[in-house]
Amino acid sequence: MREEGDMSRKEFSVAYNGPDRIADHTIDVDLLAPALLAFGKLIREANREVNGKTTKANVLVVSDFEHKCFNINFEVALTLLEQLRTLAGTHEVKTAKGILEWLDLIGGAAAGVTSTLGFLGFLQWRKGRKIEEINEINNTDQSGSVTIKVEGDNNPITVNQHTWNLANNPRALSAARDALSPVGTDGFNKIELRDGGRTINEISEDEANRILASCIAGIEEALDITPDIDISSAWLTVYSPVYEERAERWRFKLGKEIIYADISETTIAHDALERGGAMADDSYQVKLEIVTPKTPEGKDKKPIYKIQEVLRFLPAIPETQDSLDLGKGRE
């Protein structure tokens, strides 16, 4: 794991594989795209669960494809925020490596977990079965853990509270479901989890089905009132410029929709004034955070938009006088 200042990094790989894929390392884009996005979403949800707002997680794809399987290399980068300076000694921040271990995406016992089961391990153990009993443990040795008993099983299991919380998070469950969805389709009968080029764990089709059953059951059971948070690349076009550098929100077009977006963490306003002003139809490619609050009944409310980063700026094409006007008065 590389540590660079306030950055924690860890690489890992996943390989979708199967005996029918020995001579073919291709994969249908409709299978790959949701799975790629799912790993990013799962890791960001896990980071929010254990680190709260003290870190930001970026999941990067490192280009390197092997023969005889479809291998994807990822790098997880956690940016430690300024708040950590005031939290020192009062809050344990999980590193990128610690989060991947806890999710069961790389080997090693997850720090602070009193059971050998991490997130995926717990979902596989549950197998979609109905939860019958949950008890918090408050003794000194296992404080912060819960015991869980499922239907048809007389042997309760103990897991960390964070694992139980994530197993009740429909966004994390949806991400785990999508990440494992290629297994059992198109000749892929397992997913290999790799650390440093070495396969340290495999999830077979049968094991993936157990995890998928738990994901589906958990999503159906959850009444989630926490906001949905989605971060993705988007194109925004200026709808009505604001000529005030301290303005925190601008009005943009997102496709055909008119939105207000928080620009407070960018230099959009400053850069516009440096150029002499902004024009309607100036376009920005951005990393856009969309937060969708929930009603007490779990229904979606109006989304809240925030630009995290400007990736590219394209100025609007200035309007020019119609060329026919140049001929006025000529005979």
Q: What is the pLDDT along the chain (331 residues), one digit of tens a residue?
A: 444 446 788 888 888 888 877 667 678 888 888 998 999 999 999 998 988 877 788 888 875 555 445 567 777 777 765 444 444 444 456 888 889 999 999 875 443 444 468 999 999 999 999 998 898 887 655 557 899 999 887 788 999 899 999 999 999 999 999 999 999 998 899 998 988 878 888 999 999 999 999 999 998 887 666 777 888 899 999 998 777 778 899 999 999 999 999 999 999 999 998 888 888 889 999 999 999 888 877 678 899 999 999 999 999 886 654 544 544 544 4
Rounded to the nearest angstrom, the gap between the alpha carbon of residue 258 and the centroid of all alpha carbons in its chain is: 25
Give me the phi and psi of 135, to 5 degrees please: -135, 130
200 assigned to some structural domain: yes
266 and 178, same structural domain?
A: no
Contact predicate 280/240, CB 8 Å = yes
Which amino acid, residue 22? I
49 assigned to some structural domain: yes
Q: Tell me, letter by letter, the H, E, C secondary structure of 126-165.
A: HCCCCEEEEEEECCCCCCCEEEEEECCCCCCEEEEHHHHH
247 and 165, same structural domain?
A: no
Q: What is the per-residue pLDDT for 9?
A: 86
- Which residue, 244, 303, 261, 312, is CA-closest to 283? 312
Contact predicate 208/18, CB 8 Å = no
Strand 257-262 and strand 304-314: the pairing is parallel
207 and 171, same structural domain?
A: yes
249 and 215, same structural domain?
A: no
CB atoms within 10 A of CB 311: 13
242 and 196, same structural domain?
A: no
304 and 200, same structural domain?
A: no
Q: What is the per-residue pLDDT for 89?
A: 43
291 and 164, same structural domain?
A: no
192 and 255, same structural domain?
A: no
Among 191, 221, 251, the domain-final residue is 221
126 and 73, same structural domain?
A: yes
257 assigned to some structural domain: yes
**Tokens 């050998």 found at:** 116
217 and 239, same structural domain?
A: no
10 assigned to some structural domain: yes
Beta-carbon contacts of residue 313 (< 8 Å; ≥ 6 apart): 271, 282, 283, 284, 285
CATH number at residue 296: 2.40.50
Dihedral of alpha carbons 38, 44, 48, 50, sign: positive
> How many domains does one find in the chain?
2
pTM for the whole structure: 0.71
166 and 98, same structural domain?
A: yes
Q: What is the per-residue pLDDT for 26?
A: 76
Range of 281's domain? 228-314
100 and 216, same structural domain?
A: yes
Among 221, 239, 254, the domain-final residue is 221
151 assigned to some structural domain: no
CB atoms within 10 A of CB 145: 23
304 assigned to some structural domain: yes
Say how many residues make up the chain. 331
